[in-house]
Structure 1
Amino acid sequence: MKTIFISVFVFIIFFSSSFSQKKVQVYDAPDQAVWHEKSRTWFVSNLGGGISLEKDANGWVTRTDEFGNVIAPFWIGKEEGMHAPSGMVATKKFLYVVDREGVFEINIKNEKVETFYPIPEGEFLNDVAISESGDLYISDFFGNKIFKIDAVTKKVNIWLESDRLEAPDGLYMEKDKLIVASWGVLLKPSSFETSKLGDLLSIDLETKNIQPIATEAGNLEGITKIKNNYYITDWAAGKLLKIDPKKQQVEIIMTGLKYPTDPNYSKKLNILAFPQHGTNQVLFIKLN
């Protein structure tokens, strides 16, 4: 694997944690930004209470317009008892939100929780991806597991459990493969320190065969894809990375970030968005 530095020309807009109309804090440890094409809005999950994984019913999802202007600071979560919502994925109708105890299925138009899928076996549920058939896949960071919620039966099962997952964090769904951004080999259970940096992995949905795309790329957090390359945040090092899967090459796009989290890309707007835990901001990057 090769790591190189490159420079890119981008236009970056910072949106802070203040909401001028009401003078309230909007973002509190924002964890993922997700674009919803049908409503032309972004959704941003907030852990709440700082970088906290506590089951304290103090998390929520913020909604912004396509330019990142906050239109609903506490769109959902406060009344629904969300603890620390993290990874999300959107379909035309639903927003799926991973929380500490399971996954919320939210009807976007009605702004209501339609279903909650409890996952009591999860140790640290983190991100979610959806397949073409509608199956949901959820990463368990401390458990080295991937859970699956079947689209037809709605049953939750452990789809894959393996030390090779190396603290699976961000997920991205390809047609027949699940792409996993791993944090790395943990020094001890329930810690975030690593003895080995994380790999970018490809898992065949049918055979569950695990293949590395890039090794020891960083403490990988979130992942999205733009054209043929993966864009991934390295939380601990404060970097935005681009990984070419064919060349197995890692390029450092941005440095000096403050604990960047899960990114998402709007093809319609040609904007890459991701929050920062360390600044309570969401960055919207217009790509050339």
Structure 2
Amino acid sequence: MRNLALTITASVAISASAMAEPLLTQTIPNLPGAESIVFDSSKQTYFVSLQAGDKAGDGSVVALNKDFQFIATVASGLENPKGIAMNGDTLFVGDMEHLIEIDLSSGAVVKHEAKNAQFLNDVAIDDKGDVYVSDMFTSVIYKLSDNKVTTWIDSPKLENPNGLTFIDGQLYVAAWGYFNDGNPIEAPYGRVLKVDPTTKQISAITEKPLGNLDGIQVDNRDDLIVSDWKQGVVYSVSKQGQSRILLDLPRGAGDIYYSPNTYQLFVPMALEGEVLVFRNIIL
């Protein structure tokens, strides 16, 4: 009986830990228009895209050390940089009509034009090294392969894609919600979608629309974490489509980053110009 009691106690403790409320541990300030953040474990460095203000060319990508202190600006003169993905020593950033490629070893910046793009957003990289970037205004996903950008999927069924991430070879999409009038603030809600790269078949993870979705990540339990920019809500979404609220924040929760090793969630808040860091994201 004593062993049984100990087992039950341990199980309850583990369950309580797993369901612990997210705790805000850090606010990283002075990041104007912060939209996306990634971490390079080999350099112990964070990279953050800053949309900054309303002036043309005031956007940038900056580097922070592991203590969130500013190191350097790795790219400047950008229009409206958003999602970031990393492959080795190269950063890829969605920036309006261009997919930006930043070589961290040399400092070289290359702009790849995406024909007819209007509002390039998040970036994801497949296991072959091909780069995908969403266009939230035209409901298109572009692909960079062999140094050439082409239209990969052009479909309203993408519901104006925003966040992108690859999981087990499948592309998961956080959709903003379909609109074609240039007014995203009044757009209907979008869903979490999945795209089969081989067939390009689009299927819905969440049966009902969830929100004006922005960032998408996968947690240590293989569930999705999805942010809603307009409502300021961060959801946990299972692969079967069940959702629950993790965080209720002000409007502007952007392209989130999740660390499975530390159970931390980084939430860029563009309107406040900061990144919020939460722990106990153990789902």
Which of the five TM-score ranges fits, normalised by the shorter chain? 0.7 to 0.9
Q: Secondary structure at the match of 1:169?
A: strand
Q: 1:243 aligns with which of 194, 214, 237?
A: 237
Partner of 1:12: 25
Compute the displacement of 1:16 (Å): 1.5
* SS of residue in 2 equivalent to 1:193: helix
Structure 1 position 233, deviation (Å): 0.8
Shift of the 286–112 alpha-carbon distance from structure 1 to 2, 3 Å rule, reads farther
Shift of 1:83: 1.1
Q: 1:234 aligns with which of 210, 213, 228?
A: 228
Q: Is the 8 A contact 1:258 1:279 kept in 2?
A: no
3-state SS of 2:267 partner:
strand
CA deviation profile, 1:102-143 (whole Å, cap 9, x unmatched): 112112233332x32111310211111000001111101111
Moved more, 206-215 or 249-258: 249-258
Check conservation: 1:7, 1:253, Cα contact below 8 A. Answer: no
1:141 aligns with 2:100: no
Q: Which structure features the higher share of helix residues?
A: 2
Q: Does 1:271 align with 2:264?
A: yes
For residue 182 of structure 1, the aligned residue among 172, 175, 194 is 175
For residues 27-50 of structure 1, give each alpha carbon's deviation from its aligned partner in whole angstroms, at most 9, with x where no partner exists. Answer: 21111011111111111101121x
Distance across 2 between alignment mates of 1:96 and 1:140: 15
- Give per-residue Cα distances to partners, 1:229-275, cap 9 Å, x unaligned: 111111111111111113x1111011133311001122344322121
TM normalised by structure 1 equals 0.85
- Residue 48 of structure 1 corresponds to 52
Residue matched to 1:255: 248
Q: 2:181 aligned with 1:221, yes or no?
A: no
**Correspondence 1:37 to 2:41:** yes
Aligned to 2:15: none
State the Cα distance separating 1:195 from its structure 2 match.
Answer: 5.3
Deviation string, structure 1 residues 139-182 (Cα, Å, up to 9, x no partner): 011111111111xx222111101111111101111232111100
Q: 1:104 aligns with which of 89, 100, 111?
A: 100
Residues 197-222 of structure 1 show CA distances to partners (whole Å, capped at 9, x for unaligned) of: 11000000000001100131111011
Determine whether 1:76 maps to 2:74.
Answer: yes
- Rounded Cα–Cα distance in structure 1 between residues aligned with 2:250 and 2:161: 22
Matched pairs, number:
261
Tell me the CA shift for residue 7 of structure 1. Answer: 6.6
* Distance across 2 between alignment mates of 1:185 and 1:120: 20
Structure-1 separation of matches of 2:83 and 2:172: 14
Alpha-carbon distance between aligned partners in 2 of 1:281 and 1:138, rounded to the nearest angstrom: 24
Are the equivalent residues in 1 in contact too, given 2:24–2:276 (CA < 8 A)?
no
- Cα distance in 1 between the residues matched to 2:188 and 2:27: 32
Please state if 1:161 is matched with 2:154: yes
Aligned residues: CA RMSD = 1.7
Amino acid at match of 1:198: G
Rg bigger for which structure? 2
Counterpart residue identity of residue 61, structure 1: V
- Partner residue of 1:24? none
* Whole-Å separation in 1 of the counterparts to 2:74 and 2:97: 17
3-state DSSP of counterpart to 1:64: strand
Aligned-partner residue type, residue 203 of structure 1 = V
Identity, in percent, stands at: 28
Point out the structure with the larger strand share: 1
Q: Which runs of 5+ in 1 are unaligned?
A: 1-5, 18-26
